[in-house]
Amino acid sequence: MTQGTEGKGAATSTLWDRTRQLAVQEILQTALRLFTQQGYDETTIAQIAREAGVSQRTLFRYFGAKEDLVAGSEERFVTLMTETVHNQPADASAWDALRASFKAALSLHASREEALERFRLVHHTDSLRAAYLGKRVRCQEELLPLLEARLAPSRTGRAQTRAIVATAFACFDAATVTWLESNGQGDILDLYDQSLAAVRG
């Protein structure tokens, strides 16, 4: 392959990535608008695809399930959380590692407004809330061995490690609900810190 061909291939790949990202963003924005206007359960995939200007097949190529349009891919969420914990410095505490993983998860939202819309939908839609709880349980189980290894020098057992993980997620949920009740005022991580301090204090 010549240098010129390589350059052309790289440009094509970049253009494809940009086109894909634009399509994904258009689908997400359309879905969130329709979910907010008429409700999650009342909005169909066919309607989202039609208004976003794509086929249903294309939509499902980017999003594996309807709930992924709100809560994101479970695989991506779990992978991001576990990789973030794994990549924390060896001297970081379990609490600090978990906080870093929540911060990473929040970065998946394009904006504060988008995060607010998504959290509202999850909080007020039974099917989405159930899907989120299932995702959370799986994430906690994936995080458990990573945190056990981090806590091994202190001889913290599995039951105690599980309690730490569960407490961190409960405090994050409390922070999210408080953030929603204030219509997005403040910072979720600050609210998380306050919730965790109340429990640990």
Residue range 1-63 forms a domain whose CATH class is mainly alpha
Handedness of CA 99, 103, 108, 111 (dihedral sign): positive
Domain ranges of the chain: 1-63, 70-201
> Measured between alpha carbons, how far is 13 from 7 in angstroms, rounded to an integer?
10
Instruction: Tell me how crowded residue 50 is: count the other CB atoms within 10 A of its CB.
Output: 14
Pair 62, 83: CB distance under 8 Å = no
pTM: 0.82
The pLDDT of residue 48 is above 70 = yes
Pair 88, 97: CB distance under 8 Å = yes
> Measured between alpha carbons, how far is 124 from 33 in angstroms, rounded to an integer?
16
Residue bearing the bigger pLDDT, 196 or 8: 196
Phi, psi of 41 (to 5 degrees): -65, -25
What pLDDT score does 92 carry?
95
Pair 91, 55: CB distance under 8 Å = no
The pLDDT of residue 6 is above 50 = no
What pLDDT score does 161 carry?
96
Identify residue 172 by its one-letter amino acid code. F
pLDDT tens for each residue of 86-100: 999 999 999 999 999
Phi, psi of 182 (to 5 degrees): -95, 10
What pLDDT score does 95 carry?
96
pLDDT tens for each residue of 27-46: 988 999 999 999 999 999 99
Average pLDDT over residues 20-24: 79
CATH of 70-201, picked from 1.10.357.10, 3.40.50.1110, 1.20.1060.10, 3.90.930.60, is 1.10.357.10
pLDDT tens for each residue of 149-196: 999 989 999 999 999 999 999 999 999 999 999 999 999 999 999 999
What pLDDT score does 88 carry?
97
